[in-house]
Structure 1
Amino acid sequence: MRKIPIAETLIEKMLFIFTVAGSLVIFFVIFYIFSNGLPVLKASGLSFFTTGGWDGQFTSAWTAAPGQEIWRFGAVELIAGTLLTTGGALLVAGLLGMGCAVFLAEFCPPRLRRPVEACVRLLAGIPPVIYGVVGYTTVVPLVQSLISDQLALEMVRICVLDGTSLLAGIMVLGIMITPIFVILATDALETVPLAYKAASLALGVSHWRTIVKIMIPVARRGILAGGIMAAGMAAGEFIAMAMVAGGVAFLPNPAHGLLFFLEPVRTLAANVFINSEVLGKANMESALFACASVILFICIIFSLLAQLINRPNLKGGRSR
């Protein structure tokens, strides 16, 4: 029987300790967030998820007399803003990122691939505040140019149309998460066995049809996992959304037609950031932790979906 070196045993024990410590820290963070948000979630019940008026409730809670604290809040505008911006950004990232991933995996010349991949990874590492600044100085004026003075006057009683909007949020957030999706989708396409592609081409199937009918379906698990990771990143973004999405707890009305996309929104994460100065006031702090709890719950759902997609008995390519 081979004797295990002492150094190897020590490294194994240290890795085990670090794993347990990391797991405990994650569990503590989850428990801390949910426990601090529980008072408002308990007092509000389902109305926290089905009713609105966050800004008015927050103002009332701030000005309430001692002993008359408000513990009931409604965050439907914030939840809707998070889901709308995340869903729209994921659609943008899917449309742009899939084309870029296919190009990198199949059509990019070898000499060009390394610089392009370096640029994509560089874009993935740019701080969100940079995307926010660029979005505020380029995307917001572009959206504002679509709004006439007459239209702004007609809508002023409902909301202010100044360019910071759902559309601007979707565009900036979509561009922000596209590099992450491209990296993961490219890796997924590269895990497809070459024999699949060779067999399809040998049967006379065109290269494009091989990609669409063979490679993408086989790699769909890795692609979906990349989309879920990008969606989780989008759901937690706050700085850029506070800058370009409007920063107003407002629920866009689909009955307004295309104006729906020009109306302002505020996400859960941006709401925590914007109202962070109230931390220390028990009821308002609990309300912000309740928003953080919803974000955490959404991210946990995304994580579970990723685990479900990566099950070994599920057909399709697997992300590396």
Structure 2
Amino acid sequence: MASESHQRRRTAGELLTDKRAELLLGALVCGLLLFVGLLVGFVFREAWPSFQHNGLAWFGPGGNPDQQIQAIFTSANLLREPVYTFHAWPIIYGTLLTTCGAVILSFIAALFVSVFVVEFAPEPIRRILEPVVRLLASVPSVIFGLLGVLILVPFIGEHVISDENRRSVSYVVSLSGYSLLAGVLILSLMIAPLMIAVFCDGLRAVPRGWLEGSLGLGINSWRTFWKIGVRTARPALVAGTVLATARAIGEVVMLAMVTGGVAFAPNPADGLIFFIEPTRPLAATILQTAEELTSPPMRHTIFAMAAVLLFSGAMLSLAGWAAKQPMKRYGVRA
């Protein structure tokens, strides 16, 4: 009887401990959701005056954003009526170009590297590659920016841009090596390791029996892994791409260092010069104008840029979730 009573007390104590842990975790989750809600509400409240004044024209073309930013900032400093006119298309366009270009390059490279690491690399090489990839994924972006400024940008300026290229667009913009091309290449190098790490985990989760069954039917290793392994791991591929794209959209320091820092929309009509023209994404624009937060209209404009980035991240997550729904019939979940 004493033993049974002790066992009941012990069981009751364990249940109480589990209940406390559940309550604590629930409180933490609720606190996190509250923080996110307050953050989103604060950002959009601060951004509303800029959106209210400009309407949909905020996202359209019309004038030089750098000149508009200067007018917005000085309107408050000179005690005049606040100016809110801002047309962000050149920097939105720069964000789309750098992000999409880097994600496409990184996805192609990361997919082939992941397939090699998981299925075809000899064990000694695999033991070296995996730590190197994870190390690259954790390198601070400013290091990549320094490499771009010291190596890639001078190379583009001296060996890719010709004097004829400079003269052809000198009346519009100056070509110096700080360019869309530099931003895309360095950003690809930054986000590819993140993709590789996620892709490798997804490919390893593919049931080996599926692959061995295909090999047993006489299908070669490459076709087997590509048609079965990669197809089955598609949810992980989507998850890795979404994570990498979110990092690319929000990248600040490196892009501010290598893209040129000019609110200019590279023109495809310029031919190959398009790739070596400077640009500046939204996140880098926020960094470069952060010192102007003392101006109320400028503060609202900066928060409007932040709201666009925040909304883009939310829509990206939603799109990734929606893309994975038809893939639930496959065995690998992300």
TM-score range, shorter chain: over 0.9
TM superposition shift of 1:319: 4.0
TM superposition shift of 1:66: 1.6
TM superposition shift of 1:33: 1.1
Matches of 1:207 and 1:311, distance apart in 2: 29
Structure 1, gaps ≥5 residues long: none
The question of whether the paired residues in 1 share the 8 Å contact of 2:72 and 2:85 is answered with no
For the pair 1:71 / 2:71, whether they are aligned, the reply is: no
Over residues 200-236 of structure 1, what are the superposed CA-to-partner deviations in whole Å (9 max), with x where a residue is unaligned?
Answer: 1111111111122221111112112211110111000
User: What RMSD, in angstroms, separates the aligned Cα atoms of the two structures?
Assistant: 1.6
The question of whether the paired residues in 2 share the 8 Å contact of 1:184 and 1:319 is answered with no
Q: Which residue of 2 aligns with 1:143?
A: 156
The question of whether the paired residues in 2 share the 8 Å contact of 1:225 and 1:309 is answered with no
Q: Which residue of 1 aligns with 2:187?
A: 173
Matches of 1:124 and 1:142, distance apart in 2: 25
Q: Which residue of 1 aligns with 2:312?
A: 298
Percent identity over the alignment?
A: 35
Matches of 2:227 and 2:122, distance apart in 1: 23
Which residues of 2 match residues 252-267 of structure 1 at below 5 A? 252-267=266-281
Give the structure with higher Rg (CA).
2
Q: Which residue of 2 aligns with 1:54?
A: 65
The one of 115, 119, 137 equivalent to 1:106 is 119
The question of whether the paired residues in 2 share the 8 Å contact of 1:92 and 1:175 is answered with no
The one of 240, 248, 255 equivalent to 1:226 is 240
Q: Which residue of 1 aligns with 2:229?
A: 215
- How many residues in Structure 1 have an aligned counterpart in Structure 2? 320
The question of whether the paired residues in 2 share the 8 Å contact of 1:37 and 1:288 is answered with yes
Matches of 2:69 and 2:146, distance apart in 1: 28
The one of 35, 40, 43 equivalent to 1:30 is 40
With the length of structure 1 as denominator, give the TM-score of the two structures. 0.96
TM superposition shift of 1:313: 6.4
For the pair 1:134 / 2:147, whether they are aligned, the reply is: yes
For the pair 1:18 / 2:28, whether they are aligned, the reply is: yes
Structure 2, gaps ≥5 residues long: 1-7
The question of whether the paired residues in 2 share the 8 Å contact of 1:48 and 1:74 is answered with yes
Q: Which residue of 1 aligns with 2:51?
A: 41
Give the structure with the larger helix fraction: 2
TM superposition shift of 1:139: 1.2
Over residues 50-82 of structure 1, what are the superposed CA-to-partner deviations in whole Å (9 max), with x where a residue is unaligned?
Answer: 124211111112232323211121100111111
With the length of structure 2 as denominator, give the TM-score of the two structures. 0.92
Report the CA distance shift for 1:165/1:313 in structure 2 as closer, same or farther (over 3 A): closer
The one of 219, 223, 226 equivalent to 1:205 is 219
For the pair 1:117 / 2:127, whether they are aligned, the reply is: no
Report the CA distance shift for 1:313/1:200 in structure 2 as closer, same or farther (over 3 A): closer
Q: Aligned with 1:310: secondary structure? A: helix
The question of whether the paired residues in 2 share the 8 Å contact of 1:185 and 1:223 is answered with yes
